Amino acid sequence: MQYFTYGQESYVSKPTQQRVVDIILDKAQVALQKANYSEANDLIDGAIEIAKDSTIYAEAQLVKLSYYNQTGQLQKAQTTIDQLAHSFDQTSTDYAKFLLLKSEFFMNSNLLKEAEIAISETQIILAQARDTDMSSILQLQRAELDLKVKNYSKAKETLEQLLPTLINSKQFYAAAKAQLDLFRVTSITGEYLISKDYLIQSIRLSEKYDFNTLLKDSYLLYSELLKEEEEFEKSITYLERYTVIYNEETTAAQNTASINEFNKLIKENKALTVSNNEKTQKLKGNDASYILLCIFITLLSLLALSLFKNNKLRAKSNQVLEVKNSALIDERDRAKDATKIKTDFLSTITHELRTPMYAVTGLTHLLLEKDPRNDQKEHLETLQSSGEYLLSLIDNILDFNKLEANKVELETIPFDLHKRVNDICSSLKGQATDRNNNLHIHYDDSIPSRLQGDPVKISQILINLIGNAIKFTKDGDIQIRVHKANNRTGKCLINFEIEDNGKGISEEKQTAIFENFTQEGSSTTREYGGTGLGLAIVKNLVTLMGGDIHLKSKVNGGSKFSFEVWFELPDSNKFYDENQHLDISENKRTNPTTTETNINNVLKTPANNTANSSTKMDENKLQKPETAKEGVLNEKQATPTELSNKKILIVEDNKINQMITRKILEGKNFSCEVANNGEEAVQAAKSKKYDLILMDIHMPIKDGKQATIEIRTFDREIPIIALTAVTINESEKEFYQIGFDDIIPKPFKMDEFFEKIQKAFTNYEVL
């Protein structure tokens, strides 16, 4: 503080002045970048006051000019330019700086010819001065001018060349500005993909260094862009961020106004005090208490005036904020409406797509069963795999839509995690073998045999992650590690890791791949297919369970996805231990607490894999609720001959669907009857004995749910399977509560269909 000695009597040497002023101006520049305008203004004024030397004074004035340019105070900028015109040696870099600020002023005032002249003059000076940093700023300015005069290709070329230099020389503010300009140019030239990238990069850099001046613009632009992409929720978040900066700036400006007002009042006060003093002198000898009263009244009125002015200011700023708030609320409501329309639309469209898809996959299956010629077979198989791909896409969209609309509820039921993990790996084994990959399970034996949580969601996460690991690895190893990370009374934290040694993911793409419809690049889509929805669903599910997903990856060095989830422990361990039924006799124990399983050698469950390289198996295969059968159970699988005598009632209103389901089942020697709606189904179930009912849900006269409720009043035993496309407004839980034994999502994959029917005929005997 010893530097801050004001007044003519105190002498501060030129080097000291220079040092102090430089420090203050540096701080002012940072404040300007952060849009802390009142702080910047105070600092610059402080520096100007210290700068007694004319060159140092001119340097401080330059920053003031920059402040006026940034805050749009054109009149004051013009005055400062006039004052500074002759302050510099015309070959110095300071003069170049001045010219650059002058060109910025011209650009702000739309005097583009004058701006061009100032830029060209700067170029001549810098050509001799060889200041590379300044040259970069000059080029940036030129590109911005090109942008203004609509010379887009030139602007783009300059900016693209400049950007790496700016980053290398750590001129981050200029780099973020260049990225923002590149966004503007490329979005004008229609290169939307790279333009979005530039905007995101600019936001990242500006957020890192608090470049609020840039962030204000970029948040608003990003919000607009997201609105166009119909990402309404995200768009609002960025609009809100924009408003925060905007309000901070406005408040700061108002505060500066209040401070100015306050200083004025103090000055008036001082003047009044002086005149009062004079009067006091004159009135010396008069009634002292009268004079004191006068002073007191003057001060009181000044205070009242200041309070009044302050209140007026506050009322005005409140008014501005109210208007802005109501605009934001309108915008949010509009976005919410749009989101709802989108969600309902997706729900209807995915539901509507399923019915014709049923005809496609069902009829293809029937044709394949009819011993087609080899060339026909090839076409039919392509038709089948395309159908399955479309199905998995529909499933993903439906899942994602549900998650976005917050329609996904978590279940809390007891289940055996070890069995889940083994089952998942066994069903993905075929897919792994196709790509010559080995699956290794490392399961921590200290994890309690029963946990309480949502087994379906956990399966869905693991299927997606392991499925991806298999898909993006060839001739490699996939490690699936499940460990207990923490233990509390009644709770257990489980850590999951899925690691592969496949192609890996580049660092830039690692955060983006968790966003919807994002893949590593267009070549990924060409080579591996997929939609880029899987990881977005996984991330949403993990977050829903209170966890967080992490990724470590290196190009060609493999990827490791990990997440942790808390599970509750059920009251007792009386439930059926699913582990008993797995042949794990060949399990290799590598350490006393972990069971390591190589899925390729060990799991002996039938190879019922339907997931192919382009489809991700959905969790329905594994979703039979584990609460359904309590007690210690023993499974007896029905044999094929036993199955062929079974009588099935198909309840379905659509004639094509009736025909397809019937033919598929008759192809396996089941005997079938058809009911056209729920009412007919109830009558049929009352009058005849069936071994299984396949129940459609949406039907005229009586729907499938109502029919099942009625059948359950007189028959609690007969297995009833819902054949339905579960829509966004239906919950699977509700189906089981009504009395369904299982759900087959429509249209189904054939293997899954028969597997579930087989399961329905599996006898459970309570031992």
Q: Where along the sequence are the contacts to ligand ADP (CB under 6 A)?
A: 464, 468-469, 472, 500, 502-505, 513, 519-520, 524, 530-536, 559
Taking the least distance from each CB to ligand ADP, the nearer of 239 and 469 is 469
Shortest separation between residue 248's beta carbon and ligand ADP, angstroms: 37
Shortest separation between residue 55's beta carbon and ligand ADP, angstroms: 57
Strands 763-766 and 742-745 come out as unpaired
Shortest separation between residue 473's beta carbon and ligand ADP, angstroms: 7
CA distance 704 to 695: 6
CA distance 443 to 441: 6
Using alpha carbons only, what angle is made at residue 611 by residues 605 and 616, rounded to the nearest 5 degrees? 125
Shortest separation between residue 725's beta carbon and ligand ADP, angstroms: 21
Using alpha carbons only, what angle is made at residue 71 by residues 68 and 73, rounded to the nearest 5 degrees? 55
Shortest separation between residue 220's beta carbon and ligand ADP, angstroms: 29
Shortest separation between residue 382's beta carbon and ligand ADP, angstroms: 20
230 Cβ contact list (under 8 Å, min separation 6): 338, 342
**Looking at the chain, how many residues does it have?**
767
CA distance 535 to 517: 9
Burial 144-169 (b: 16+ CB within 10 A, else e): bbbbeeeeeeebbebbbebbebbbee
Task: Compute the Cα dihedral for 256, 260, 266, 269 and give only its sign.
Answer: negative
CB 416 within 8 A of CB 449: yes
Shortest separation between residue 613's beta carbon and ligand ADP, angstroms: 11
Shortest separation between residue 459's beta carbon and ligand ADP, angstroms: 15
Taking the least distance from each CB to ligand ADP, the nearer of 113 and 526 is 526
Shortest separation between residue 437's beta carbon and ligand ADP, angstroms: 11
> How many CB atoms are closer than 10 A to CB 170?
9
Shortest separation between residue 528's beta carbon and ligand ADP, angstroms: 6
Element (H, E) at 453: strand 451-453
Taking the least distance from each CB to ligand ADP, the nearer of 500 and 578 is 500
Element (H, E) at 46: helix 37-50
Q: Nearest to residue 537, comparing CAs of 615, 610, 482, 464?
A: 464
Taking the least distance from each CB to ligand ADP, the nearer of 265 and 390 is 390
Taking the least distance from each CB to ligand ADP, the nearer of 162 and 549 is 549
- DSSP annotation of 700 reads S
Taking the least distance from each CB to ligand ADP, the nearer of 213 and 460 is 460
CB 751 within 8 A of CB 719: no
CA distance 158 to 141: 10
Taking the least distance from each CB to ligand ADP, the nearer of 202 and 464 is 464
Shortest separation between residue 471's beta carbon and ligand ADP, angstroms: 6
Taking the least distance from each CB to ligand ADP, the nearer of 125 and 470 is 470
Shortest separation between residue 35's beta carbon and ligand ADP, angstroms: 37
Strands 720-724 and 763-766 come out as unpaired
Shortest separation between residue 396's beta carbon and ligand ADP, angstroms: 8
Shortest separation between residue 365's beta carbon and ligand ADP, angstroms: 25
CB 664 within 8 A of CB 753: yes
CA distance 110 to 105: 9
Taking the least distance from each CB to ligand ADP, the nearer of 504 and 745 is 504
Shortest separation between residue 506's beta carbon and ligand ADP, angstroms: 9
With tokens 């198996």, the residue in question is 617
Q: Nearest to residue 560, comparing CAs of 480, 628, 660?
A: 480
Taking the least distance from each CB to ligand ADP, the nearer of 372 and 532 is 532
Burial 339-376 (b: 16+ CB within 10 A, else e): beeebeebbeebbebbeebbbbbbbbbebbeeeeeeee
Taking the least distance from each CB to ligand ADP, the nearer of 426 and 559 is 559
Shortest separation between residue 415's beta carbon and ligand ADP, angstroms: 24
Q: What are the structure tokens assigned to 18, written together?
A: 């220079």
CA distance 564 to 496: 6
Taking the least distance from each CB to ligand ADP, the nearer of 71 and 473 is 473
Q: What are 571's strand-pairing partners?
A: none
Taking the least distance from each CB to ligand ADP, the nearer of 60 and 536 is 536
With tokens 């880029």, the residue in question is 532
Using alpha carbons only, what angle is made at residue 107 by residues 101 and 110, rounded to the nearest 5 degrees? 145
Taking the least distance from each CB to ligand ADP, the nearer of 448 and 532 is 532
CA distance 643 to 756: 13
Taking the least distance from each CB to ligand ADP, the nearer of 531 and 609 is 531
- DSSP annotation of 681 reads H
676: Cα within 13 Å, side-chain hemisphere: 3
CA distances from 503 to 506, 507, 554, 612, 685 (A): 9, 13, 8, 19, 55
Residue 208, classified by CB atoms within 10 Å of its CB into exposed (0-12), middle (13-18) or buried (19+), is exposed
Q: What are the structure tokens assigned to 177, written together?
A: 């500005």
Taking the least distance from each CB to ligand ADP, the nearer of 440 and 503 is 503
Shortest separation between residue 550's beta carbon and ligand ADP, angstroms: 13
Strands 477-488 and 438-444 come out as parallel
CA distance 330 to 311: 28
Taking the least distance from each CB to ligand ADP, the nearer of 530 and 570 is 530
